[in-house]
Structure 1
């Protein structure tokens, strides 16, 4: 199970741990959707489109390892190799995401603390780089939703 937590409230990056040991640090891009993380000595880029609805996981050689489509919709997918993982928003009131097998939830990405911006991902059967990618995509989606809500409430939408 992966856990993502901001080291401080003032930073946008997240430390990602697996069973208590740090495995990666998600560093969102300041100027576009996406960011980067390092896992097992390998650096990965996460590229997103301007709307934040599509993301790609790119390795250091420039090869695409995974892609996420329709992010932010009720149902969305991640494709890696010949596998397609389906997700759905668990509730219209919360941002939690469920990993589906058929129509049955078999995993999830959920907020563990709204105030600290932390999250927990339980994504069985997925390679670790793809698990981290999914977690980073969901964090990026939540961060974009927060920015949009703040802008709307301040009259700058």
Structure 2
């Protein structure tokens, strides 16, 4: 697998906001408000799906919620995440591997890293609404949505477990 190229490139931030307090959908928008897609939470709050550029994607977790697979509308694997929910986890897509880690022991925020260098992040912007902002430079848009969906799923699971 090739690694994320180094550089000072910063991607366009994607914001995600739940459509209602009890909503099962998150609207993902770029800075400026342009809608990217809607993340639909799965029936049992694990996995989900979205449509992007005329294609449908489904995200399926394993039974423990530590491995996620993104399938396109033809059933082909587009991306896979390993060890999601752990301190360090990875996503493989398009022949590349992207490394993530939890920002701190007490935080659920995630960092996109290259070695020890932080190059991107997914951060909660509102604990009350569950809104988040993702800056994931170098990742294709569908893979960014995949990562955002996994983080939303993990955060919702953590909130349910603490309730």
What pairs up with 1:86-101 in 2 under 5 angstroms? 86-101=99-114
Compare 107-116 and 16-25 and name the one that shifted more: 16-25
What pairs up with 1:72-91 in 2 under 5 angstroms? 72-91=85-104
For these two proteins, the number of residue pairs brought into alignment is 150
Q: Does the 8 Å CA contact 1:4/1:119 hold for their aligned counterparts?
A: yes
| Deviating 4+ runs (over 6 angstroms) | none
Note the alpha carbon deviations across 1:54-103, whole angstroms, 9 max, x for none: 10111000000100000011100000121000000001111000000111
Structure 1 unaligned spans of 5+: 151-157
Alpha-carbon spacing, 1:99–1:121, altered in 2? closer, same or farther (3 Å)? same
1:104 matched to 2:117? The reply is yes
> Using the alignment, how far apart are the partners of 1:76 and 1:15 within structure 2?
25
1:8 matched to 2:20? The reply is yes
1:117 matched to 2:130? The reply is yes
- 2:149 maps to 136
In the TM superposition, what is the alpha-carbon distance from 1:32 to its structure 2 partner?
5.9
SS of match in other structure, 1:72: coil
TM-score normalised according to structure 1 size: 0.92
TM-score normalised according to structure 2 size: 0.89
Q: Does the 8 Å CA contact 1:42/1:60 hold for their aligned counterparts?
A: yes
Alpha-carbon spacing, 1:131–1:48, altered in 2? closer, same or farther (3 Å)? same
